[in-house]
């Protein structure tokens, strides 16, 4: 999952990396990274001092597989409509999917709605602080739980997204890219680099994320601009080329595109529609029927007793 660095100070705990830090660095990477971050970090709403834990959770869910440029307006619109979990919990899943619009992977909207309901009923409308309780929320895995616990509440957790994995692979291991799947060894390495203090650990994690997003990028790393270039194992090896990776499947004509086209019809409708209205959305009837069945199985579409189809929670007219 592609991520960018984001760090939110709690009301009583500042994790700003722009102020003088009285805690000594725990390794040679920490101080130069902190200095670089202070001068180059982007101003993102989920990093600001007044960002709520809800804002951070919403940003984490939206940033899964979606670039920051697309998340920024969607995040602002989401929080303007639903500023806290109880507000979203009071809405229907259909409203959440419509608001999600074309952000991609709309199952995230359904899970975020389910999380808001659970937060409201079980936690009094407040985001739980522990990583274990966060992981119990629908759609929240180990990475997201660690990120929210760290960035919203200043807890000490290794936050391993694609950017962090890539930076550490180059900096410490000397590999151009990490393995396709995260390993236990990667997690141990990330944990070994965390400062002992939770707030310092959050600063370190957000700095590594931002370095991966802006400088140590996947295809064209800008090593001349990297504050850690002098300590980078990959540079010391002479920047060895990566092994060839299998090309990704084309989006054009894929089931994912078909599913998106069917959902677009239902998002624009004011409620359930006759199933035949989906025929014009996709030319291949077999693929269309298969993708509709998959959307129903995933909980993104409901088939109603009168034969119509719609988003989950849509009102069926009498």
Query: Crossing angle, helix 107-123 and helix 93-100, to 10 degrees?
Result: 130
> Which residue carries 């707030």 as its tokens?
199
Known active-site residue 277: no
> Which residue carries 């725990």 as its tokens?
26
Q: Taken in order 168, 14, 43, 97, is the CA torsion positive or negative?
A: positive
CB 86 within 8 A of CB 74: no
Bridge partners of 302? 310
CB 103 within 8 A of CB 61: no
Q: Which of 60, 95, 186, 210 is catalytic?
A: 60
The CA dihedral of 186, 192, 4, 143, to the nearest 10 degrees, is 60
N-to-C CA span, the chain: 43
Distance separating alpha carbons of residues 263 and 267, to the nearest angstrom: 6
Active site residues: 60
């Amino acid at each position: 999952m592609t991520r960018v660095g984001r760090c939110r100070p709690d009301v009583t705990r500042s994790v700003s990396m722009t102020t003088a830090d009285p805690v000594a660095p725990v390794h040679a990477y920490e101080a130069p990274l902190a200095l670089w971050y202070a001068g180059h970090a982007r101003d993102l709403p989920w990093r600001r001092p007044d960002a709520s834990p809800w804002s951070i959770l919403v940003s984490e869910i939206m940033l899964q597989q979606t670039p920051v440029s697309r998340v920024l307006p969607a995040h602002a619109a989401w929080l303007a409509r639903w500023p806290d979990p109880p507000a979203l919990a009071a809405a229907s899943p259909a409203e959440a999917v419509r608001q999600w619009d074309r952000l991609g992977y709309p199952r995230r909207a359904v899970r975020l709605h389910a999380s808001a309901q659970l937060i409201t009923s079980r936690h009094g409308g407040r985001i739980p602080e522990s990583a274990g309780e966060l992981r119990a929320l629908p759609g929240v895995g180990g990475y997201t739980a660690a990120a929210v616990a760290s960035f919203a509440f200043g807890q000490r957790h290794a936050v391993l997204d694609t950017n962090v994995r890539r930076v550490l692979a180059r900096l410490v291991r000397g590999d151009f890219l990490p393995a396709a799947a995260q390993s236990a060894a990667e997690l141990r390495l990330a944990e070994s680099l965390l400062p002992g203090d939770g707030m310092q650990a959050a600063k370190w994690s957000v700095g590594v994320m931002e370095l991966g997003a802006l400088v140590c990028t996947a295809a064209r790393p800008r090593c001349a601009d990297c504050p850690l270039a002098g300590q980078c194992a990959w540079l010391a090896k002479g920047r060895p080329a990566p092994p060839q990776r299998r090309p990704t499947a084309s989006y054009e004509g894929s089931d994912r595109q078909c599913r998106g086209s069917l959902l677009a019809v239902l998002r624009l409708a004011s409620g359930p529609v006759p199933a035949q209205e989906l025929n014009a959305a996709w030319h291949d009837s077999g693929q269309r029927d298969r993708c509709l069945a998959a959307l129903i199985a995933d909980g993104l579409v409901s088939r109603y007793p009168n034969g119509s189809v719609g988003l989950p929670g849509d009102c069926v007219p009498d």
